[in-house]
Structure 1
Amino acid sequence: MSQQGQPEGGCAPDKCSTCPMKSSCGGASNQAGPDPDMVKIGKRMSTIKHKILVLSGKGGVGKSTVSSQLATTLVSKGYKVGVLDIDICGPSIPRMLGCEQEDVHGSADGWTPVCSQGNENLSVMSIGFLLSQKDDAVIWRGPRKNALIKQFLTDVNWSDLDYLIVDTPPGTSDEHISIVQFMMGAVDEDQDPSKPQTKKVDGAVVVTTPQEVSLAAVRKEINFCHKTNLPVIGVVENMSAFVCPNCQTEHPLFAPSTGGAKKMCEDMKVHLLGAIPLDPRVSVACDEGKPVYETMQGTPVMDALNHIVDELVKLCP
């Protein structure tokens, strides 16, 4: 048996029906054609131009903050954006995007994502909308998490989007493996071969903070991307320095003892998209569900976000 639990070298077609591994091995499904779920995912994703995963090696680096502000900054530049929150146990995107009290509605065409504060150019889907009480704990094992992630990909009617931002939990576990496998394995049976092929996934934006404790985990995240053939679009260094809201002076809080994200990116040959300083007003904006671009124009934080989004658009043409 291989490490994935599949028979090495394949097996004879007539053995598939009685094989105890038939539910996890690709042999039986390969005989019958594409996995129907992968076809459904391919159809849903075919209306989205760019798909970007936001990853972090560890918690506490502001990954969801970066995800939400990348999305709202893209919207401010005229793009139509969706945010898919697959942090099953700690969904914070609904609050950060000001739509925590909204409900998901179903129709014959699937789940309709929530519009953030009535903005039709910003659609959101999260398990946070499905909980009976917002403080309910989600105590699920991996298979149930994976099933919900697949349902988000097969059943959510995103319609036409320029960008889909996928906010993930910290680490390199079930949710990450599932989202990569589902999106990379999507099959678009309606794709016109004469037209330009849309990428199944553009790649990952990896979020870190300057200190070595964070960078060590991020190196593992980048290696996860390499091992799963997920392109790394670039790295965002969050909370790079504290910016005084009054005098705009920057003060380093987390000492980059090994050179910070810049040195790590040079060593690992990945692109540094930019560095976002720490400003207390960002935390207030996220708690209140207000996009930073509405309240912090002309600040170092907004300058950094505009630069990162411009780099993102350039690298994902």
Structure 2
Amino acid sequence: MQNTQNNLRKFSLTPEELASFHQRGYAGPFTLYEPEEMKALWQRERLQILDRSKAVYQGSDAVSGVTNISNYDRHLDVSFLADHISRPEIIDRVSSVLGPDVLCWRTEFFPKYPGDEGTDWHQADTFANASGSPQIVWPDAEDFGGTITVWTAFTEATIENGCLQFIPGTHRTMYYDESKRMHYDPDQINTINKEAVQRGFFGYDYRQLQIDPDWKPDESKSVSMIMRPGQFILFWSTLMHASHPHSGKTKEMRLGYVARYVPTSVRIYPDTEVVTEYGGSIKLEKYGAVLVSGKNDFTHNRIVTHTTRGKAFRSNLCQE
């Protein structure tokens, strides 16, 4: 884990914010778009996002509308999302933690509809928990793994409609063994109650990965991340995080958009051509990570590039 703040950029974390981030495992929320601006952007862009004709994961391999895997990496074909993941308000802060050379390796949508269960407490280090193979691998010399997750609220995120929850300071210890792999069962969705709260993980049960089967997260220490539309928060994926259930008291869904970042030294999808999880699979033949900061001196990752800010990354796939 990088502790040295790179050359100060306009939106870099201050020394105090960086120290707090390393202690708590998260920073923010920060405002990227004003609430009315975000609402207008989403109104304009959502129909384009529903059009999957140029998405990099096509056909029956992406179980559209059923599993979250179909939502992966829409920044590769949607211009607004391509621009969003590269915004300096985000990248300057991410680079404060990871150093100057940074890749965005995945994006995802996380909708929560009225009546949906809360997302269970979990951590992610290599992201092997569902697919069975590590999806990111840090160099052996590093003593830390995981990814920086940037979660942007495209709608209101409240306790009633399912905002994020964190347990501060839990990012330095893994309570789960991702090599065990979880069993996918869609019948579990919206059916599991834990500590009197309806919580699941998109058809998986994270308890299957616990190192200590008797361990339970200390929810008394949890904090709720209430966010306005257009705000974002960044956190280590190894931080214990979850979300509240959607109470159904409002008919509006809660929508979060997640971008995941790693240093260029990290190997992405090593020796992997197909990712299988959440009841579906995607082929990586059109996949590429995006260099959002600095330079890439490595040859182990597939990289997509573009030359004009604001255009999607749907061409010029190259090996670097």
TM-score by length of 2: 0.24
Report which of the two structures shows the higher radius of gyration computed on alpha carbons. 1
Q: Which has the higher contact order (CA 8 A, sep 6+)?
A: 2
TM-score by length of 1: 0.25
